[in-house]
Chain A
Amino acid sequence: MTVALSASTVNPRINILALSGRLSVETEGQIQPQLMEAIKQSPHGLVFDLEAVAFVSSAGLRMLIVVYKSAATSGTKLAMIRPPPEIYKLFKLAALDLTFNVFENEAEAVKAICP
């Protein structure tokens, strides 16, 4: 799993964190601090771009829940964009699609976070 942080082209105050690869047990340890760090660097909001995520494991899913909870505590707004259909379906089955604030594209997500 690799991550890349950049400012949103729609609203530079919002950051985009592009995740790619498998969000699974082998990677979750090393990724979680990076996600937490990204949240810290994104006081106005952070959008996870999941376009290149291939797989989410049990641990990966629970890590995302932890990250969302932690962001809620610090008051940082989070959203997700472009999950592949298999992963969007997984969120839907786990009833997490609303919790994760999922959008089709960056513009919609940025607008929702920072109207």
Chain B
Amino acid sequence: MDPKKSDTNVKAAADVLMAQANEAAAIFTQYDQEQVDKIVAAAAKAGAAQRLELAHLAVEETGMGIFEDKVIKNLFATEYIYNDIRDIKTVGLIHDCPATGLMEYAEPLGVVLGITPITNPTSTVMFKSLIALKTRNAIVFCASRNALKCSNEAARIIYEAAVAAGAPDYVIRWVEEPSREMTQALMTHPNVALILATGGTGLVQAAYGSGKPAIGVGPGNVPVYIDKSADIPMAVNDILLSKTFDNGMICASEQAIVVHRDIRQAVEDRLVSQGAYFLKPSEVAVIQDIVIDPAKQSMSSKVVGKSAQYIAELAGIKVPPQTRLLLARLADVGETVPLSREKLCPLLGYYVAANLDEAINICTNLTHFGGLGHSVSIFSRDQQAIDKFSRTLNAGRILVNSPSALGGIGDIYNRLHPSLTLGCGTGGCNITTDNVTVTHLLNIKRVSKRMVNMKWFRVPSKIYFEPGCLDVFFTHEIKDLGAKRALIVCSGSAVREGTTDRVAAYLKAAGIQSSVFSDVKSDPTVETITAGVAVLNKEKPDLIIALGGGSPIDAAKAMWLMYEHPEFSFDDLRLRFMDIRKRIVKLPPLGQKARFIAIPTTSGTGSEVTAFTVVTDSKAGKKYPIADYAITPDIAIIDPNLVLTVPPTVTADTGLDVLSHAMESYVSTVASDYTDPLALRAIQLVFEYLPQAFLNGGNALAREKMHNASTIAGMAFTNAFLGINHCLAHILGATFHIPHGRANAFVMIPVIRYNAALPHKFPPSPNYPSPKAKDRYAEIAAVLKLDTSTPEKGVENLVRAMAELKKTLGVPASLRAAGVPEADFKAKLRFMAEVAFDDQCAGANPSYPLVDDLIKVLEEAYG
């Protein structure tokens, strides 16, 4: 025939098959689960009913295998497969998990191209048909040329039963006139959604090379190791059963026995007694060229699925009449040892290993020589040997104490999914190591509902407040702690003011030994922490008392952390994170060695209740912000008597820090009902009492209210976090040596304006569904009893109130007014903005800041 014409005919035939199948697949999409299940049940029943006829046909046509075993395979492909898939949901909503908000819907693939082998012709066709029907896919079969009649008959039986049960017309199609060209035309046909290829290496590679999605599974070269702990009669029985089943044509059947030297004789005796025949070396030399085609370097089709007797005869070897299995003693694995290859007939290689390790290595060699990723088998009663074997060998199925052929196809000897298409993973150039089943023939559509991150609220378990609470605590409550040894961490000023002595005296009275680490200066350094940790390690206290402003408390928290968990490095701890609960470096809880009491002597940082600390690396010029709930103090003592002598500028600066904590946590993307009242109350207290405390430091009520405001704001922001106000303040402070609270005040007004405007970029936060900073600022204004007739007015009036407060506190209106040199500021502007952008605090800001946005805010703050 004219080759061109032949090509056209082939293409036309492929087009017809594919058009029909495509139409069927389209119609099939309308079916519900009940209809599908009815079809699959009918198809399985029809296939099982024809098991004998199909087995006869297969043996007759292929001249391979054993009728009785093919009957089992046909039943397996229908009964076992059906039993496995009958209750699986494959239509519509197949999984629904309210806890994760994930729903899975099944979408059919469309048209599946089924390539089927000569070795298991009818069973593979029925298996693939059933899994295609169950998943509402149409399937077109391209069977092995030498098993065409029986394969197509199997397809026809399933198809007719399916259509009678209501399946779409043409849902199963088959190639009547196979050819290489036809296979190629089908594999590359636009209508093919997936190629499901079972067969020889060449065909499977062609499937993968077609450019279509493919599940192609190829050859194995299954070693079976008989460990010295094995149940020998069982091992021998199973290997004989498996390797003679359908004359060894299942690709998961054993190809070589590797036996432990200690039981060698017993195994050999048993093998011989059960009908195995050990080939003599001269016989091996003859038979290897019969079994393995020397030209092709692969098994000869002459022996596939033939009996041991037949093969021996073919090689001119006389074997005892009861011989069921041939064994060839082999010394090595590789091309020079042909029988170390896969041989789908009752002939096994036979190796003796000195120990488990050597056995595993022989198995590794065998799988690497052919069939990597397919299956391996072990007979052992030693779990450690089984573990080592399983850890080392690369095989999709590692079968323990069972016949590998019947074990590999699943469900008979184990609970693997029953399948006649066994994935070999990338070792076999496959996409999966699974036993292929319905789950591989579906597109899973995942419906993901919006989920919010769980929020939390954590503060110290005890907070003591009101004037004199320090004395009450240390004269009464301290005893309940049962502490024996305390370290007081403080600054020089606390020592000078006598507070340290007072606390030490109380401790002594309570029977607690104490020592003092007072070498903490402003912005505690790594060196300070290291020195402090050395003291902790020496003194081994079970109580740490941090006494002072933000710096001693921050230092003590870091010391506490390193005391309890010396394995952590500052570098690990400062690693930037998006979500405090998903961070890479996780801190275990503290408190195994010591509990922690924080006693603030300024009203600003809130460190006595927060999960934050900052450590400075003076050599590298870096700051390590450490954030973790583990470092939240156990007890905070908020005694306003300790802040009566704070000088006015410090009062103003620390008070403005309180205000920025409260403001930022109120507009934060993770603000909650738990933090909002705290933030609002702190803001009210600051506006009312900070000017009084600043103007008259002796105003005890104002001092007390500001001391409370500081801790209350701390409780808000340790849970709701901060925003760009702090990001900018951190870098401004570091660059121009501006006190932290004051630096916050300089940027506060431009930050409010920026956050209240429509964000240029929205923060990626599921808990924050739409911008609301403007309204939140207006709510703050309302609490301050300002005019909030519109949100815009509220924001503007809040800005005005802020400006007034700054003025009252003697804080310059701008950085320019504060004397920051313009040239210097401009030169450092972008750098500062970039550092601020990467600051840990930026994450919860209501507007995700662009670097250019931060530049504008800084410019506005400069004035």
Residues in A lying within 8 Å of B, measured CB to CB: 55-59, 61-62, 86-87, 89-91, 93-95
Q: What residues of chain B lie closer than 8 Å to A90, measured between beta carbons?
A: 26-27, 29-30
Q: Which residue of B lies closest to A22 (CB)?
A: B30
Q: Are A93 and B168 in contact (CB under 8 A)?
A: no
Given that A93-B110, A94-B22 are known contacts, is A58 also in contact with B30, CB under 8 Å in the complex? Answer: no
Q: Are B29 and A57 in contact (CB under 8 A)?
A: no
Residues in B lying within 8 Å of A, measured CB to CB: 22-27, 29-30, 110, 168-170
Q: Are B22 and A58 in contact (CB under 8 A)?
A: no
Q: What residues of chain B lie closer than 8 Å to A94, measured between beta carbons?
A: 22-23, 26-27
Q: Are B30 and A55 in contact (CB under 8 A)?
A: yes
B168 partner, pick from A57, A89, A95, beta carbons under 8 A:
A57
Q: Which of A55, A58, A95 has the largest count of B CB atoms less than 10 A from its CB?
A: A58
B30 partner, pick from A56, A62, A95, beta carbons under 8 A:
A56
Q: How far is the CA of A91 from the CA of B29 in the complex (A)?
A: 11
- Shortest CB-to-CB span from B193 to chain A, Å, is 11
Given that A58-B168, A58-B169, A58-B170 are known contacts, is A93 also in contact with B29, CB under 8 Å in the complex? Answer: yes
9 smallest CB-CB distances across A and B, nearest first, come from A58-B169, A93-B26, A94-B26, A58-B168, A90-B26, A58-B27, A94-B23, A86-B30, A55-B30
Q: What residues of chain A lie closer than 8 Å to B22, measured between beta carbons?
A: 93-95
Q: What residues of chain A lie closer than 8 Å to B23, measured between beta carbons?
A: 58, 61-62, 94
* Interface SS majority for chain A: helix
Q: Which residue of A lies closest to B170 (CB)?
A: A58
- Shortest CB-to-CB span from B1 to chain A, Å, is 31
Q: What residues of chain A lie closer than 8 Å to B170, measured between beta carbons?
A: 58
Can you offer 15 A-B residue contacts whose CB atoms are under 8 A?
Answer: A56-B30, A57-B27, A57-B168, A58-B27, A58-B169, A59-B169, A61-B26, A62-B23, A90-B26, A90-B27, A90-B30, A91-B26, A93-B25, A94-B23, A94-B27
Given that A58-B24, A61-B23, A94-B22 are known contacts, is A87 also in contact with B169, CB under 8 Å in the complex? Answer: no
Q: Which residue of A lies closest to B169 (CB)?
A: A58
Q: What residues of chain B lie closer than 8 Å to A91, measured between beta carbons?
A: 26
Q: What residues of chain A lie closer than 8 Å to B25, measured between beta carbons?
A: 93
Q: How far is the CA of A93 from the CA of B193 in the complex (A)?
A: 12
Q: Which of A59, A62, A95 has the largest count of B CB atoms less than 10 A from its CB?
A: A95
- Shortest CB-to-CB span from A62 to chain B, Å, is 8
Q: How far is the CA of A93 from the CA of B24 in the complex (A)?
A: 10
Q: Are B29 and A86 in contact (CB under 8 A)?
A: yes
Q: Which residue of A lies closest to B23 (CB)?
A: A94
Q: What residues of chain A lie closer than 8 Å to B29, measured between beta carbons?
A: 86, 89-90, 93
Q: How far is the CA of A86 from the CA of B107 in the complex (A)?
A: 12
Q: How far is the CA of A9 from the CA of B492 in the complex (A)?
A: 94
Q: How far is the CA of A36 from the CA of B110 in the complex (A)?
A: 32
Q: Which residue of A lies closest to B110 (CB)?
A: A93
Q: What residues of chain B lie closer than 8 Å to A55, measured between beta carbons?
A: 30
Q: How far is the CA of A89 from the CA of B22 in the complex (A)?
A: 13
Q: Which residue of B lies closest to A94 (CB)?
A: B26
Q: How far is the CA of A94 from the CA of B111 in the complex (A)?
A: 11
Q: Which residue of A lies closest to B163 (CB)?
A: A58
Q: How far is the CA of A105 from the CA of B269 in the complex (A)?
A: 83
Q: How far is the CA of A61 from the CA of B28 in the complex (A)?
A: 12
- Shortest CB-to-CB span from A1 to chain B, Å, is 15
Q: How far is the CA of A59 from the CA of B23 in the complex (A)?
A: 10
